[in-house]
Chains A and B, each alone.
Chain A
Amino acid sequence: MKVMTRIKLEELRQRIVSERNPDTPCITVCAGTGCLASGARDVVAAFDHEIEAQGLEVELGFRSTGCHGFCEKGPIVIIDPEEICYLQVTPEDVPEVIAKTVKEKEVIERLLYVDQNTGEKAVHESDIPFYKHQERMVFGANRRIDPKSFEDYLAIGGYQALTKVLFEMTPDEVVSEVKDANLRGRGGGGFPAGVKWEIARNAPGETKYVVVNCDEGDPGAYMDRSLMEGNPYGVLEGLTIGAYAIGAHEGYVYIRQEYPLALENLMAAIEDAEKRGLLGTDILGSGFDFRVRVHRGAGAFVCGEETALLISLEGEVGEPKPRPPYPAVKGLWGKPTTINNVETWANVPLIINGGAAAYAAIGTEGSKGTKIFSLVGKIANTGLVEVPMGISLRDVIYKIGGGIPDGKKFKAVQTGGPSGGCIPEERLDLKVDFDELTKAGSMMGSGGMIVMDEETCMVDVARYFIDFLTDESCGKCVPCREGLRQMHRILTKITEGRGEEGDIEILEELAETAREASLCALGKTAPNPFLSTFRYFREEYEAHIKEKKCPALSCRRLVSYYIEPEKCKACLICLKECPAGAIDGAKKTVHIIDQEKCDSCGICFEVCPSRFEAVKRISGEPVPPPIPQEQRAVIRKSTQQ
C-alpha cells in the first residue's frame, strides 16, 4: 500500500474526498484527555453499540477525535453536517441523539450550551462564545480528524505542504519562508524558528538532526499533549519539512512517558507513515530520506530545556549544558540539531500551504500567527484556546473564558508556566504576544494561563511555583539549587506568619543571583514567580510580614475562624464536621470555636449553610472573645429580624 509518488498521493486524496459525501451525517466525539476523564470512553462505546445495533454503519459516519478544547463541558459530541454541538453528553443520551438528532434532525435542548449570563442557548459549535472568539488554525484540525486515520488527515489537505516542499522548493526557500513568516518558538523562548533552522542548515557537517520537544511540563498545561494526541500526522509533516530544510535525515520525538495516548497515536502515525512511504527512504519519490525515532522522557521538568533534553536523549542525566555552543551548531551527539516544540512544528505546514505573507498577516509586529493557551484556574470555561497573537488578556479571560465563576473578583492571571509571572487587573488590556508579556514581567512560555480570583494569596502563589521549581531544579548550579531552597524556605515562613523584617531584601538578593548567575533558563527565570507577584502585589507581602495578615484569607496559619453569635442557628453541622473537635455547642446553643484547638482547616466555613453564613474568616486581627454562657441560647424569632 506504499504511496510511492506525489501523483499517487494526490489521487488517493481525491478518491477519499470524492467518496466522502459532505451531506452524510457524521458524529464526532471528543476523546481528548479532558473528555476521556469526564467519561468520553463510555460515550464512544455507547455510540459504537447503538450504531451497530441499528445497522447504521453505512449511512452514518462516526469518529472519535483528539481534544476540541472545551474541556470544561466534556464529553463533547458534534453532529455534522449541521454542526450541532452537544456538551456533557452521557452514554444514556446516546440513543436519543441518534433517534432524534441524527434521524429526525431535531435538536435536543438540554444538551446544548447555555450562556450563564444571558441564559441563551447555542446550537452550533461556532455560536458558543468559547469558540466564537478563537482562531483555531493549528488546533482546529483536531476536531476534523481521527488521530489514527491517515485518510482523515489527507482529506483535510494533509501532506500538501510536504509535497510542495519536496518538489517545488529548495531547502533554502523553505528556510526563507519560515523566516519570513517570523514563526517564533512556541516552547518558551520565542526564538525565531527560521533563524534556528538557518544556523543548523549552514552549520558544517554531514549528519544533522531534527528534534520534537514534547516534554511539556508546566503545571496545568496540555497544549502539546493535545496536539500530539489529536493530530500526530500534522506534527510529523512539520518535522519532515524541517528536516528537508536543514538537511537532516534523522529525527527524534522526545515525549513524556506520562502522555500515553499521545505516545500511542504518535507511534501509530509513524508506523503508518513509514508503510506509506511518507517516512523512510525516497519519500514520495523525491529522493529525500528521513526517519523518526521516539524517545520517552522520564518526567524531569528540566528536560524541557533544550540542552538537558538532548543530553537525556543521548542517555545521560538530563542536566543543562552551557550555551553557546547552541544545539543548532553542536547539538545531539555533537551534530547540528534543530529542536522545536510540538506546537512550533505543527505551525510549519500552515506556513508552507498558505505562504509566509498570509501567516505573517496574523498577529502583532513581533509575534505572528496564533498561540494555543491552556486556560485553567478560577475561570468559567476551562480548556484549550487558540487565539491570534495580539488579542487582549481581557478578551481571553472574559469573552472566551467566560470570566470568573461564583461571582468572585478577578485578581491575576499567571502566564508562562512556573517561571512565568502574575499579571494584575490593571494590565488586562495587554496585547498577548512574546514581547508584551515579557515587558509585564511575565512571559509567553509554552502557553499556560492560570486565572486567580480574589481568594488567591499571591505570596502563596509565589511559594507554590518556587516549590515546584525547587523540586524540578536539576541541582547542578548553586544559584538555582541553593537559591531556590532558601527562597522557598523564606516564602513558606512568610505564608506561615513567621516573616520578618529583611526577608524581602534577602529574597531580592537571591532573585538577582539566580537570574544573573544560573546556568540555564530554568534557573534564570526561576525567581519570576516572586518578582512578578512582588512587583504587583507588594502590599500582600507587607501585610503578611508586618501585620501577620493574609488579605486573601487563604494562608492557613494566618487565618482564624470565628462563629458570629448573632448569625449562628445552632444547627450542629459545623460541630459534627470539625475534625479537631474544636467547636463547642448544642441544640439551641450558639456554637463557639475553641481557638486553642482550632487547626484552621476551614471545614466549618465550607459547611455552614449559605443561608446562615455564620462562620467568618479573620486574619491579622484578634478573634472576638467568646460570648458568655448565658447569652448563648438561640432564640429564633429575635435573630430573624
Chain B
Amino acid sequence: MTDIRMKIDGKEVRAAEGMTVLEAARSAGVSIPTLCHHEQLAPFGGCRLCIVEVEADDRKNIIASCVSQAEDGLVINTKSDKIDRIRKNILELLLAHAPDSPQLRELAEDYGADKSKFEQEASFCIHCGLCVRYCAEVKQENAVGFIDRGIRKEISFLPEIASKVCNDCKECFPLCPTSYLQAAFVLVESLAFPRGKATRA
C-alpha cells in the first residue's frame, strides 16, 4: 500500500490510498464539520460544510473534503476566514429549516450562525439524504426516497415498501438531524398503513 503524505493545517498527515481528504484529516485528529457524511455510506457531497482550502500554486481552491481523494503532496487548510464565513452561511440557510436541531445548534454556536437570519421555512428537512441513502445502501430497501427537485425536493416514504419493512427497522430514525424523518414516517403510516394493518397484510 502506497503511503500518501499531505499537509493539513500545517501538520504532516499520512493517509492510505483510497482515503478521502475528510477521512485523512479525521484519522489525524483534525476535525471538520459534516452533516451529510456517514461512515457506512458512500460520500454524498450535499451539505458542503466539510469544505476546505487546497493550496495549489498561488491559488487556494475550495473543495468538499468528503468527496475529494487524498493525494500525495496536498496542502490543505481546514479553517480560514473564508471557510468559516461560508460554513456560517450554510448553517444559517439550514437553520431556516431546523432552528432547534441539536446538531445544527451546536455547529451554529461554533460558527456564530444566526438562526433567524432567514425567514423560517415550513419544512425542517435539510436534505442531508442520510435516511434515503442508508435505506438504499445499507438496508437495500429503498423505502424512503427523494421526490421532485430543487427547492421543491422532499423526502417521501414509499407506502408499498414502507408498510412492509419500516416498523421492524427504523434504523434511519436516529440518523436524522432534525426529526423531520419521523414526522414523514408518521404521516405515511397514518395515511397508507395505519398501525396494525401492516403486520396483518
Contact = CB atoms under 8 A, between A and B. Distances in A.
Interface string A292-314: 00000000101000000000000
B64 A519 contact: yes
B67 to A, nearest CB: 4
Contacts of A483: 89, 93
B151 A485 contact: yes
Interface in A464-496: 470-479, 481-486, 489
B45 interface: yes
B48 A475 contact: no
Interface string B132-169: 00000000000000101111110000000000000000
Contacts of A474: 149-150, 153
Interface residues of A, number: 31
B144 to A, nearest CB: 14
Nearest to A320: B45
Given A322-B68, A517-B51, A300 B86 contact: no
Interface string B6-43: 00000000000000000000000000000000000001
A513 B90 contact: yes
B47 A471 contact: no
A300 B48 contact: no
B67 A481 contact: no
Contact of A471 (B45, B51, B146, B150): B150
A516 B46 contact: no
A481 B146 contact: no
A528 interface: no
Contacts of A512: 82, 85-86, 89
Contacts, number: 93
A494 to B, nearest CB: 15
Contact of A475 (B51, B97, B153): B153
B119 interface: yes
A517 B86 contact: yes
Contacts of A475: 127, 146, 148-153
Nearest to B64: A322
Given A317-B146, A478-B93, A482-B93, A519 B86 contact: no
Given A322-B67, A473-B151, A475-B149, A510 B127 contact: no
A300 B86 CA distance: 28
A509 interface: yes
A134 interface: no
B147 to A, nearest CB: 10
B94 interface: yes
Nearest to A482: B93
Contact of B118 (A317, A478, A484, A486): A486
Nearest to A483: B93
Contacts of A476: 45-46, 127
B96 interface: yes
A486 to B, nearest CB: 5
A489 B120 CA distance: 12
Interface of A: 300, 302, 317, 322, 324, 470-479, 481-486, 489, 506, 509-510, 512-513, 516-519
8 contacts: A471-B150, A473-B150, A475-B148, A476-B127, A478-B93, A481-B153, A513-B90, A516-B51
Interface of B: 43, 45-48, 51, 62, 64, 67-69, 82, 85-86, 89-90, 93-94, 96-97, 117-119, 126-127, 146, 148-153
Given A322-B43, A478-B90, 13 more contacts: A300-B149, A322-B67, A475-B146, A475-B152, A477-B45, A482-B90, A482-B151, A483-B89, A483-B93, A489-B119, A516-B51, A516-B86, A517-B86
